[in-house]
């Protein structure tokens, strides 16, 4: 009427087009249109349009969306999957070389990743095993004196109970005091124990330390009770049923104690680890002595902020008055802060804290390394698969011609990857579990089946499985399944448009990573060698340090011991004095330099006259201590080190005075040359040597390691009630670099690994290139090219890639190395040799890898290669 042909409502048409299966669309649309036209004739346009819409709507039925063709739909999903698996397995078994390299490469990468992730999880889970870990906090104290500000891990004894009383948010407070203990078992064997703690009885209520025997509510209530750990119980009593030990007596610090409980060993991922707990027997001056770790259990996790606020008030009103009274000084104050228990492992800035702290940065670095290694392994898989892909174009062509859809092909190739990955994961798990002990040495904890599966370990494994499958499999699968069937069947390469650029990028990355890691390893090695051989400025070898026990007559007995030992010809020297690396106390005093008076706080150790000689510490200026003729002569001589003089700014150090208090003035008699009394991580700081043997801490004996019998004999006479404990200084100093040694071993491993993987990748790439160029090689040989020329031809390409890797790797590695070396105040210089060696070494290995395939190709008879078109 209006137009040449009347039209049904356009929107209805659109709707129809949208939901209807295109196969059915045409006929339905046609029929509807016919009906439409007829209806116009019958009842007019408007009627027709209305009914058209109605019809369209009524066509919204399932059948309209179905396919007309008998669809290729499997009867059951499981069947389909089985089929893919069968296909994949068949392919993989037919190409064992490819399969093995892939599984191996992936397995090694996954194993490393697993081990690292395990370690990372472990490190990040410190103290999370407590039931109330989200509400447990430790109180740290900061002491403000006119001379210094000290942040301390322990608090005054009175803080805990006071807080519990004052603040309703604090449900319970538990104090733990490290206590040196000498234990004598029933056979009379003496043990020196350093991991005993006195604890409030509430400890079992607050923390999760399950008891194997004994009653947690009463275990530490009675005085002179002791709760042993499983291991300790075994050490003293052998393998007996823990329950039977309850009530037994044990001599601790010469006082009989009753065993009231046996706990399960404290997990390794715990900041505070104890071997035994003693009931509270110390009667401390609550506010004078700062010696207990104080833990608080809060009402709920949100109270932390409230408590923190209230602590400020508490400090002002309760703490400060009390400590000022106890210390007899008005110009000191203390403040307290809360630390969540899970953070304790990483808190390194407090004095008097537990040992074995972790470093968050290292943990993250490790996680990063794990990711890198996994990526590299995946990259290899991708590379290898792509190289293989070329050979499979025919297969894809046929499949598509037979009607396979891209999705199906993609799924099939993904399943191949999945199977490979699955096998690799299984293999990797095996590797990791078998190497358990080795790993324990490296990372600090042992990986067992148990530890792998707990706290989401299984999820990690599954996650890795999925991630790797997807990452490594998607691209090759995609590439393969997208092949144009005609082109593929005709034999053209489906990579025609890529020129393998992606692959080249990946190879460059792999080698860059390998070179960086090797360079870093060399530097770590260098630094450790440097530290080992660096002259520390004093004699460490053959110096034995003996711990003097806390005996009432220690002072005299030590002197006797010293004399006894000095008589023996095998002993070259004996001195009473703290080990140079002992925990020093800070001494506060004031000095006058260049007309100005300053207050300083400096580390000091107590020594006797023979110290300088035994440790071979040269004096720069001045003299050694003059002998004390009587006890009455207050030890007022000190020797300081050069750093001290520099810090204070004296021109003439000898004879200068240091004022410690009104009655305590000391005189500098000599200056000793700077020596590294701490680890090489730190700069040499000012040090004071006090001439003081009133409370001897160590006896340092210069003796050969074979002759320690002398000491044992002498000791048994003089300190019969105390076990002898000693250690050689050089060993002790080595221990300080334990972390770095571990790192070195790890880096060695990573170097090997990354080179292995990179070369694996290179291997696959060369295989591919060689194959592509078989004809070219054949022709060249016919034309008279020698083997070396062929090698050169094939390696030229890789030469550039390698060069690129080196260029990328060097600055990156340099930056990383510098960053790490900042941990050390004394470091080896980063020489160019390191980079030359690493680049050179890697290049050499790469060449070897290259030559494997290329030489084979170069040696092939051109007749054969050219025959197969």
Partner 1 sequence: MKGTQLGEFEEIVLLAAAILQDEAYGYAISKEVAEQTGRAVSLSAIHSALHRLEKKGFLVSHLAGATTQRGGKRRRFFAMTAAGKAALQEARQLRQRMWARVPVVVWETN
CB atoms under 10 Å from CB of 417, counted, come to 26
Q: How far is the CB of 387 from partner 1 (least distance, A)?
A: 46
Q: How far is the CB of 473 from partner 1 (least distance, A)?
A: 37
Burial level of 384, CB count in 10 A (0-12/13-18/19+)? Answer: buried
Q: How far is the CB of 15 from partner 1 (least distance, A)?
A: 13
Using the minimum distance from each CB to partner 1, give the nearer residue, 16 or 480: 16
Using the minimum distance from each CB to partner 1, give the nearer residue, 66 or 550: 66
Q: How far is the CB of 14 from partner 1 (least distance, A)?
A: 15
**CA atoms of 794 and 776, how far apart (whole Å):** 11
Q: Which of 648, 531, 540, 636 is nearest to 597 (CA)?
A: 648
**Binding map of partner 1 across residues 556-595, x = CB under 8 A, - = no contact:** ----------------------------------------
Residue at token pair 């356009």: 10
By CB under 8 A, what part of segment 64-123 binds partner 1? 64, 66, 68
Among 39, 40, 59, 777, binds partner 1 (CB under 8 A): 59
Q: Judge whether 697 and 606 are in contact, CB under 8 Å.
A: yes
DSSP 212-237: EEE-TTTTTTSTTEEEEEHHHHHHHH
Residue at token pair 């993609």: 410
Using the minimum distance from each CB to partner 1, give the nearer residue, 51 or 151: 51
Tokens for 157?
């004894």
Question: Which CA distances in Å does 331 have to 145, 232, 327, 673?
Answer: 7, 45, 10, 36
Q: How far is the CB of 754 from partner 1 (least distance, A)?
A: 60
Q: Judge whether 442 and 116 are in contact, CB under 8 Å.
A: no
Residues touching partner 1, count (CB under 8 A): 21
**CA atoms of 548 and 726, how far apart (whole Å):** 10
Q: How far is the CB of 6 from partner 1 (least distance, A)?
A: 10
Is the alpha carbon torsion for 610, 611, 612, 617 positive or negative? Answer: positive
DSSP 432-466: HHHTHHHHHHHHSS---HHHHHTTTHHHHHHHHHH
**CA atoms of 637 and 41, how far apart (whole Å):** 126
Q: Which of 8, 7, 15 is nearest to 57 (CA)?
A: 15
**CA atoms of 229 and 231, how far apart (whole Å):** 5
Using the minimum distance from each CB to partner 1, give the nearer residue, 55 or 169: 55
Using the minimum distance from each CB to partner 1, give the nearer residue, 36 or 820: 36
Strands (E), 27-165: 136-144, 149-152, 155-156
Using the minimum distance from each CB to partner 1, give the nearer residue, 44 or 430: 44
Using the minimum distance from each CB to partner 1, give the nearer residue, 33 or 427: 33
Q: How far is the CB of 12 from partner 1 (least distance, A)?
A: 13
Among 63, 450, 533, 868, binds partner 1 (CB under 8 A): 63
Tokens for 810?
């060097």
Using the minimum distance from each CB to partner 1, give the nearer residue, 52 or 719: 52
Tokens for 66?
């179905």
Q: How far is the CB of 22 from partner 1 (least distance, A)?
A: 12
Among 40, 48, 55, 612, binds partner 1 (CB under 8 A): 55
Q: How far is the CB of 405 from partner 1 (least distance, A)?
A: 22
Using the minimum distance from each CB to partner 1, give the nearer residue, 59 or 293: 59
Q: How far is the CB of 30 from partner 1 (least distance, A)?
A: 3
Is the alpha carbon torsion for 370, 375, 378, 380 positive or negative? Answer: negative
Using the minimum distance from each CB to partner 1, give the nearer residue, 32 or 396: 32
**CA atoms of 655 and 456, how far apart (whole Å):** 66
Residue at token pair 């403000």: 144
Applying CB under 8 A, the span of 55-63, 365-373, 837-845, 847-855 interacting with partner 1 comes to 55-63
Using the minimum distance from each CB to partner 1, give the nearer residue, 2 or 796: 2
DSSP 8-state class, residue 291? E
Q: How far is the CB of 61 from partner 1 (least distance, A)?
A: 6
By CB under 8 A, what part of segment 849-868 binds partner 1? none
* CA atoms within 13 Å, Cβ hemisphere of 277: 32
- Return the biggest CA–CA distance within the chain: 137
Q: What is the chain's alpha carbon radius of gyration, rounded to the nearest angstrom? A: 39
224: left (phi over 0), alpha (psi -120 to 50) or beta: left
**CA atoms of 103 and 421, how far apart (whole Å):** 7
352: left (phi over 0), alpha (psi -120 to 50) or beta: left
Applying CB under 8 A, the span of 56-64, 223-231, 482-490, 691-699 interacting with partner 1 comes to 56-64
**CA atoms of 530 and 11, how far apart (whole Å):** 82
**CA atoms of 478 and 494, how far apart (whole Å):** 12
Element (H, E) at 850: helix 832-859
Tokens for 623?
């003299």
CB atoms under 10 Å from CB of 574, counted, come to 24
**Binding map of partner 1 across residues 170-189, x = CB under 8 A, - = no contact:** --------------------
Using the minimum distance from each CB to partner 1, give the nearer residue, 5 or 694: 5
Q: How far is the CB of 13 from partner 1 (least distance, A)?
A: 11
Q: How far is the CB of 85 from partner 1 (least distance, A)?
A: 31
**CA atoms of 686 and 637, how far apart (whole Å):** 17
Strand partners, 190: 184
Using the minimum distance from each CB to partner 1, give the nearer residue, 67 or 131: 67
Using the minimum distance from each CB to partner 1, give the nearer residue, 5 or 567: 5
Using the minimum distance from each CB to partner 1, give the nearer residue, 52 or 84: 52
Using the minimum distance from each CB to partner 1, give the nearer residue, 3 or 868: 3
Q: Judge whether 764 and 855 are in contact, CB under 8 Å.
A: no
Using the minimum distance from each CB to partner 1, give the nearer residue, 32 or 202: 32
Q: How far is the CB of 62 from partner 1 (least distance, A)?
A: 9
- Bridge-based pairing of strands 190-199 and 543-547 is unpaired
Q: How far is the CB of 472 from partner 1 (least distance, A)?
A: 42
Using the minimum distance from each CB to partner 1, give the nearer residue, 10 or 407: 10
Q: How far is the CB of 401 from partner 1 (least distance, A)?
A: 25
Q: How far is the CB of 77 from partner 1 (least distance, A)?
A: 22
By CB under 8 A, what part of segment 8-47 binds partner 1? 24, 26-35, 37
**CA atoms of 658 and 600, how far apart (whole Å):** 10
Tokens for 577?
């004095």
Q: How far is the CB of 16 from partner 1 (least distance, A)?
A: 11
For position 50 contacting partner 1 by CB under 8 A, the verdict is no
Among 2, 3, 58, 796, binds partner 1 (CB under 8 A): 58
Among 1, 2, 5, 784, binds partner 1 (CB under 8 A): 5
**Binding map of partner 1 across residues 435-474, x = CB under 8 A, - = no contact:** ----------------------------------------
Among 17, 50, 61, 599, binds partner 1 (CB under 8 A): 61
Provide the binding-site residues for partner 1, judged by CB under 8 A.
5, 24, 26-35, 37, 55, 58-59, 61, 63-64, 66, 68
């Amino acid at each position: 009427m209006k137009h040449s042909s009347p039209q049904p409502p356009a929107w209805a048409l659109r709707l129809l087009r949208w939901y209807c299966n295109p196969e059915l669309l045409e006929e339905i649309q046609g029929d509807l249109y016919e009906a439409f036209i007829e209806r116009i004739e019958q009842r007019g346009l408007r009627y027709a349009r209305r009914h058209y819409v109605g019809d369209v709507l009524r066509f919204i039925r399932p059948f309209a969306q179905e396919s007309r063709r008998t669809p290729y739909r499997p009867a059951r999903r499981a069947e389909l999957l089985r089929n893919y698996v069968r296909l994949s397995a068949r392919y993989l078994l037919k190409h064992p070389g490819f399969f093995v390299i892939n599984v191996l490469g992936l397995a090694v990468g996954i194993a490393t990743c697993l081990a690292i992730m395990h370690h990372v999880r472990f490190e990040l889970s410190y103290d999370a095993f407590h039931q109330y870990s989200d509400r447990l906090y430790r109180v740290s104290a900061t002491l403000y004196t006119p001379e210094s500000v000290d942040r301390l891990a322990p608090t005054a004894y009175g803080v805990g109970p006071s807080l519990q009383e004052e603040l309703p948010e604090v449900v319970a407070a538990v104090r733990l005091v490290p206590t040196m203990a000498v234990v004598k078992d029933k056979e009379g064997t003496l043990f020196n124990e350093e991991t005993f703690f006195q604890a409030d009885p509430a400890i079992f209520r607050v923390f999760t330390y399950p008891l194997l025997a004994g009653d947690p509510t009463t275990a530490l209530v009675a005085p002179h009770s002791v709760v042993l750990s499983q291991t300790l119980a075994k050490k003293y009593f052998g393998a007996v049923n823990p329950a039977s030990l309850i009530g037994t007596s044990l001599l601790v610090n010469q006082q009989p104690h009753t065993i009231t409980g046996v706990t399960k060993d404290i997990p390794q991922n715990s900041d505070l680890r104890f071997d035994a707990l003693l009931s509270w027997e110390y009667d401390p001056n609550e506010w004078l002595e700062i010696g207990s770790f104080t833990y608080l259990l809060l009402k709920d996790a949100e109270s932390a902020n409230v408590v923190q606020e209230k602590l400020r008030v508490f400090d002002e009103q309760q703490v400060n008055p009390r400590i000022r009274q106890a210390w007899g000084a008005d110009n000191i104050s203390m403040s307290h802060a809360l630390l969540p228990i899970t953070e304790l492992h990483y808190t390194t800035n407090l004095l008097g804290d537990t040992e074995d702290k972790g470093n968050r940065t290292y943990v993250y670095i490790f996680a990063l390394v794990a990711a890198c290694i996994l990526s590299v392994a995946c990259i290899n898989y991708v590379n290898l698969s792509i190289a293989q892909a070329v050979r499979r174009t025919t297969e894809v062509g046929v499949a598509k011609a037979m009607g396979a859809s891209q999705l199906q092909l993609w799924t099939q190739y993904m399943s191949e990857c999945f199977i490979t990955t699955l096998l690799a994961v299984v293999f990797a798990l095996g590797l990791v579990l078998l190497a358990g002990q080795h790993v324990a040495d490296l990372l600090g904890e042992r990986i067992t089946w148990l530890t792998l599966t707990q706290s989401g370990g299984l999820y990690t494994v599954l996650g890795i499985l999925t991630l790797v499958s997807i990452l490594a499999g998607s691209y090759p699968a995609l590439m393969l399944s997208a092949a144009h069937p005609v082109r593929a069947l005709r034999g053209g390469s489906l990579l025609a448009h890529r020129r393998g650029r992606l692959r080249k990028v990946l190879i460059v990355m792999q080698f860059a990573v390998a070179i960086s890691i090797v360079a870093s390893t060399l530097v770590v090695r260098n630094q450790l060698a440097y530290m080992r051989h660096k002259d520390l400025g004093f004699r460490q070898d053959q110096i034995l340090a003996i711990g003097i026990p806390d005996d009432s007559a220690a002072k005299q007995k030590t002197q006797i011991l010293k004399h006894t030992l000095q008589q023996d010809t095998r002993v070259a020297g004996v001195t009473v004095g703290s080990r140079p690396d002992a925990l020093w106390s800070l001494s506060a005093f004031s000095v006058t330099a260049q007309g100005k008076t300053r207050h300083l706080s400096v580390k000091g150790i107590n020594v006797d006259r023979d110290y300088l000689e035994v440790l071979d510490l040269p004096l720069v200026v001045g003299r050694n201590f003059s002998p004390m003729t009587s006890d009455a002569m207050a030890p007022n001589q000190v020797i300081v080190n050069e750093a001290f003089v520099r810090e204070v700014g004296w021109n003439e150090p000898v004879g200068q005075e240091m004022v410690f208090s009104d009655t305590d003035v000391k005189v500098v008699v000599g200056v000793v040359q700077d020596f590294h009394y701490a680890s090489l991580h730190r700069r040499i700081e000012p040090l004071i040597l006090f001439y003081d043997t009133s409370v001897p801490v160590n006896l340092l004996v210069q003796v050969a390691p074979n002759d320690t019998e002398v000491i044992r004999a002498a000791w048994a006479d003089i300190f019969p009630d105390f076990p002898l404990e000693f250690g050689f200084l050089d060993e002790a100093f080595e221990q300080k670099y334990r972390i770095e040694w571990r790192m070195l071993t790890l880096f060695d491993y990573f170097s090997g690994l990354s080179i292995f993987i990179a070369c694996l990748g290179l291997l696959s790439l060369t295989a591919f290139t060689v194959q592509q160029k078989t004809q070219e090689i054949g022709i060249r040989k016919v034309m008279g090219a020698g083997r070396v020329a062929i090698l050169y031809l094939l390696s030229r390409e890789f030469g550039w890639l390698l060069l690129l890797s080196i260029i990328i790797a060097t600055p990156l590695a340099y930056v990383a190395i510098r960053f790490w070396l900042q941990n050390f105040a004394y470091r080896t210089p980063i020489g160019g040799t390191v980079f030359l060696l690493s680049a050179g070494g890697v290049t050499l290995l790469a060449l070897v890898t290259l030559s494997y395939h290329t030489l084979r190709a170069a040696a092939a008879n051109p007749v054969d290669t050219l025959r197969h078109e």
